[in-house]
Structure 1
Amino acid sequence: MSVLLVACSAVTAGARSFTAIGQWARNAPQDTLARLGTRTASAFQVRVAPSTATIRRIINRVCPGGLADLLGCDPVGADTLAVDGKSARGSRRDGAPAAHLLAAMTDAGQTVTQLRVPDKTNEISCFAGLLTPFDLAGVTVTADALHAQRGHARFLVEDKRAHYALTVKKNQAGLYERLHSLPWKQVSTKFYDRTEGHGRKETRVVQALTVDDLDFPHAAQVARVVRHRTCLKTGKRSRETVYVITDLTSRQASPQRLAKIIRSQWTIENRLHFVRDTTFAEDASKVHTGHGPENMATLRSFAINQLRIAGHTNIAAGLREMSYEPFTRPLALIGLP
């Protein structure tokens, strides 16, 4: 356990690799090592930091599902839960594919859990396994077009007593055309949702229709979302139309609330995957053996969670603040006495 506490503290101080975690541990003073519970040596009760080799071995071997659940947040009370996958590109080796990680994050930007998608399969087969351990009653689960599956809808509504809002794109041609053919011209109410970030400005126009004969389990509404994007650097404009199926009725979700729910799916890209890439250089990480890729990703998500709980909206700035007192502030942040 002490090795995992060392890893949590070091990553929260900005460590990006096993070597960096080991270096942090070697330089930690005795009082820090005592708080972390590292082993003692000699009659003088000198605390000994775990070596880089020990840190690597344990993080590579620890159960990734258990670690993700242990370090994740509780989704009870969340309004939405976004599910999305990401590949750790630097973990690709000798023809073996990169580790692909499926994660779930609340609308408050807290990662709940994640799991590694087995090679030679895809995210669809892991969706239920990711969410099964959690109480999702009343939570609206969002997911991208890959997960617009009838089985997922039944699982969420019937097994988890949750709601769903699933994106449909042209990769499901039949369903997409069915939604495209709905009488959208008769819908006069529109909600405009505008955001700006990552070098682009985006306006989403949301309309909603009640449906009662759609061949999709528990479907109550369909939203049409027209996205207008403008690149702030080049001025180039683009337009995309997607549809979202949900079991939420018009009384439960107005077009305005649907816009908020739909935006939460984009949030996981922005507040988790983008942050892990840009702040922790995850795609450049060469960790590839054992459970290392997914467990290092879990440690990064844990650091992001703790910084957000402490009120840091800029994770890079939060890590810098931790680094000014690297052997005390991270421990206080994660709640060690």
Structure 2
Amino acid sequence: MNLIEAIIAVPDHRHPRGIRHPLWLILTIILLGSCTGYWGYKPLVDFTKNHRGTLIKLFNLPRDIRFPSDSTFRNIIQSLDFEILAVIFNVWSQQALPILPGELMAIDGKTIKSTLVGGNTSYQNFVSMVSVYSHERGWVVRHKVMENQQESEISVVEKLIQELSGSHVVITADALHCQKKTLALIIDGGNDYIVTIKKNQLSLFLAAQKVVESEPARDSIKTSENLHGRSTTRSTTIYAISTELLPLWAGARHIIAIERTGRRWQGKKSRRRLIKFHEHHYYLSSLNWSISQFSDAIRGHWLIENRLHWVKDVTLNEDNCIHRGGNAPAIGQW
């Protein structure tokens, strides 16, 4: 199944009367236009004008075709169920983007800022996209859409982990997903994990601190770098632990401690100042890896922020999405 065939599989929710353009064509134009910077309903009309000949040739369309108007784009974007698109994407990705055994998969959610309603009240709601991202190949292999008031990111990640059962991959996740049930699902599914430890799991965090302070290290490595005006020295140390130490945490075999020190610039250009930083971070893993493998995998997890979420915000301007009404903000980012 190619991408066009996947888009054609999206059910048409419109009333048969008055349909002038097939849904797959409208969705494909929205996708191509958005990827090339044509944001908004009228810019999509400009896209069809500027690339009319190419679109006709690419999709074998009649030469006298009248492409959709801005109101057609608006109606489709506001009314289409974004969860259907997420399901269709996952079906397509299973065939087009096969998961390889041993791959590192980062899982994380990103809120679509323009969907936020309710501000700081108890009625606050927003749409998030939770993605499974390949460290090595740089693409999303699975994703799910969630609404804050209907479902938590933790439960969505658990569903994605169950979908990855039997893949024999390594899942990396932040401290939100350092949950006993989540890690048990990973191990039961034949996968492994590297997960951040923070004070949301206070007993585990204190246990990690105690291990680092009192147990001999299995191995350690120190690296330094100067990038983007920041100088950083990173010390990574791993500690082997027995299954009896953390019996409630499925598969726990190592605690990884990372100490980061250095200097970075802070503030706007007119008031920039150089500040020092000294940070300690802890990670839990089910793997029996070398120190360099752990170090690379932990750094690799943040590619989901740098190469996916940052690109959505800065390149695709997701947080300032101009689409409003209905499902428009979520569909606009699909």
TM-score (norm. length: structure 2): 0.77
Partner of 1:171: 200
The superposition leaves residues 283-328 of structure 1 with CA deviations (integer Å, 9 ceiling, x where unpaired) of 1113344433333333xxxxxxxxxxxxxxxxxxxxxxxxxxxxxx
Aligned pair partner of 2:316 in 259, 269, 280? 280
How far 1:8 sits from its partner (Å)? Answer: 2.3
Alignment of 1:106-117 (within 5 A): 106-107=134-135, 108-117=137-146
* CA distance in structure 1 between the partners assigned to 2:56 and 2:224 by the alignment: 48
* Unaligned runs of at least 5 residues, structure 1: 299-337
More off after superposition, 285-294 vs 101-110: 285-294
More off after superposition, 200-209 vs 273-282: 200-209
Pair 1:82 & 2:106 matched: yes
Q: Is the 8 A contact 1:226 1:241 kept in 2?
A: yes
How far 1:129 sits from its partner (Å)? Answer: 2.2
Q: Highest Rg: 1 or 2?
A: 2
Partner of 2:268: none
The superposition leaves residues 61-105 of structure 1 with CA deviations (integer Å, 9 ceiling, x where unpaired) of 141322442565625126211111222212224655332221121
Change (3 A) 1:194 1:150: farther
AA at the equivalent of 2:219: T
Pair 1:123 & 2:162 matched: no
How far 1:143 sits from its partner (Å)? Answer: 0.5
How many residues of Structure 1 are paired with residues of Structure 2 in the alignment?
A: 289
Q: Is the 8 A contact 2:107 2:171 kept in 1?
A: yes
Partner of 1:50: 68
* CA distance in structure 1 between the partners assigned to 2:277 and 2:92 by the alignment: 39
Change (3 A) 1:195 1:170: farther
* CA distance in structure 1 between the partners assigned to 2:234 and 2:290 by the alignment: 15
* CA distance in structure 2 between the partners assigned to 1:93 and 1:198 by the alignment: 35
* CA distance in structure 2 between the partners assigned to 1:70 and 1:16 by the alignment: 27
Q: Percent identity?
A: 22
Partner of 1:309: none
Partner of 1:154: 184
Q: Is the 8 A contact 1:64 1:115 kept in 2?
A: no
* CA distance in structure 2 between the partners assigned to 1:14 and 1:6 by the alignment: 12
Q: Aligned to 2:273, what secondary structure does the other structure show?
A: coil
RMSD, matched Cα: 2.6
More off after superposition, 148-157 vs 97-106: 97-106
More off after superposition, 235-244 vs 63-72: 63-72
* Unaligned runs of at least 5 residues, structure 2: 1-23, 266-271
Partner of 1:222: 255
Q: Is the 8 A contact 1:33 1:49 kept in 2?
A: no
Change (3 A) 1:172 1:87: same
Alignment of 1:259-278 (within 5 A): 259-278=295-314
Partner of 2:44: 21
Q: Aligned to 2:200, what secondary structure does the other structure show?
A: coil
TM-score (norm. length: structure 1): 0.76
Partner of 2:237: 207
AA at the equivalent of 2:110: K
